[in-house]
């Protein structure tokens, strides 16, 4: 694997980062994961917009343009043989000489990127798709979940909770019993043909797959969409539950805490939405 580190491409085994890097010591950084199929990136513009916004939220002064980021991504794709690759980008605040919580002002950010193989994109076919099984639990992460922080311990612990229970993901809800998102994905219900997902706020990551899916569905117009609070009672009584992320696209959930979702099979609305997403995803 060839990786990108601070302006250079080099073998993964030669990429070195200081143990004093604040990414390592504090999880002080922002990351992105952008899928690419046959060398074509999905959602490049909005992914970079979100990373620049995240860097702004935590005051990391790295001003790479979209073009500079595109060159890095395309360099990684080319040097790793193309095909289906996830491009991971990570900017940390950099390595300081001391361990002190306040932001240093004389430290250069660390910019790292690598590519990893991803499976072919999901096909919109109920008979072939993988049905996800999920747990649910109270969301015990922090109150700034809109920042795509590299400090993922809260997400990792929640994912592990679902995984240890034999499930593929975990759906989180706040103290009021309202669904937030998954440990590494956004969450949706379908009820009476309407797709419903929580609105953007500090409780959820503004997913790029979410952004693209809602835009595609609204432009198509045949499946109504609502962004509003969703209670766990509604989730338990939903006809369908979906999860979205760059790697999953739209994942249909067939079991929640051991109980079937709807009739326990992948739904028709999922199939239609995934087909629309597959057809439209390269336009972003």
Binding site for ligand PLP (CB under 6 A): 155, 181, 184-186, 205, 207-210, 244-246
DSSP H helices, 12-127, are 22-26, 44-57, 66-79
The minimum distance between CB 84 and ligand PLP, in angstroms, equals 16
Of the candidates 52, 133, 148, 248, the residue annotated as catalytic is 148
- Percent helix, strand and coil across the chain, each rounded to 5? 30, 30, 40
Residue pair 115/1 in contact (Cβ under 8 Å)? The answer is yes
Closer Cβ to ligand PLP, 107 or 208, answer by number: 208
Closer Cβ to ligand PLP, 32 or 96, answer by number: 32
Where do we find the tokens 């008979």?
Answer: 127
Closer Cβ to ligand PLP, 208 or 225, answer by number: 208
Question: What DSSP letter does each residue of 181-206 carry, written as one string?
Answer: EESSSEEEEEETTEEEEPPSSTTS--
Closer Cβ to ligand PLP, 87 or 107, answer by number: 87
- Measured from the Cβ of residue 38, the count of other Cβ atoms closer than 10 Å reads 9
Please say if 148 is a catalytic residue. Answer: yes
Q: Give, rounded to a whole angstrom, the gap between the first and last alpha carbons of the chain.
A: 27
The minimum distance between CB 137 and ligand PLP, in angstroms, equals 14
Closer Cβ to ligand PLP, 168 or 209, answer by number: 209
The minimum distance between CB 256 and ligand PLP, in angstroms, equals 18
Report how many helices (DSSP H) and strands (DSSP E) the chain contains, helices first. 7, 15
Q: How far apart are CA 83 and CA 40, in angstroms?
A: 9
Residue pair 131/266 in contact (Cβ under 8 Å)? The answer is yes
Does residue 175 sit in helix, strand or coil?
coil
The minimum distance between CB 41 and ligand PLP, in angstroms, equals 13
Q: Which residues are catalytic?
A: 148
């Amino acid at each position: 694997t060839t990786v990108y580190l601070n302006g250079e491409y080099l073998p993964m085994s030669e990429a070195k980062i200081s143990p004093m890097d604040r990414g390592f010591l504090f999880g002080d950084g922002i990351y992105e994961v952008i899928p690419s199929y046959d060398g074509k990136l999905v959602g490049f513009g909005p992914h970079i917009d979100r990373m620049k916004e995240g860097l702004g939220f935590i005051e990391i002064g790295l001003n790479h343009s979209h073009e500079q980021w595109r060159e890095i991504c395309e360099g990684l794709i080319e040097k790793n043989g193309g095909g289906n690759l996830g491009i991971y980008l990570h900017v940390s605040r950099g390595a300081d000489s001391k361990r002190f919580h306040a932001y240093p002002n004389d430290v250069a950010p660390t910019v790292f990127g690598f590519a990893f193989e991803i499976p072919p994109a999901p096909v919109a076919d109920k008979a072939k798709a993988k049905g996800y099984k999920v747990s649910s639990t109270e969301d015990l992460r922090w109150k700034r979940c809109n920042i795509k922080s590299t400090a993922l311990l809260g997400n990792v612990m929640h994912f592990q909770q679902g995984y240890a229970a034999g499930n593929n993901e975990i759906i989180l809800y706040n103290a009021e019993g309202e669904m937030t998102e998954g440990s590494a994905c956004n969450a949706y219900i379908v009820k009476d043909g309407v797709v419903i997902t929580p609105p953007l706020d500090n409780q959820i990551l503004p997913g790029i797959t979410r952004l693209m899916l809602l835009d595609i569905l609204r432009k198509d117009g045949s499946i109504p969409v609502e962004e509003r609070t969703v209670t766990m009672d509604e989730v338990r009584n939903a006809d369908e539950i979906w999860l979205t992320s760059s790697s999953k696209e739209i994942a249909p959930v067939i079991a929640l805490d051991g109980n079937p979702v709807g009739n326990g099979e992948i739904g028709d609305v999922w199939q239609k939405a995934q087909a629309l997403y597959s057809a439209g995803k390269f336009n972003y």
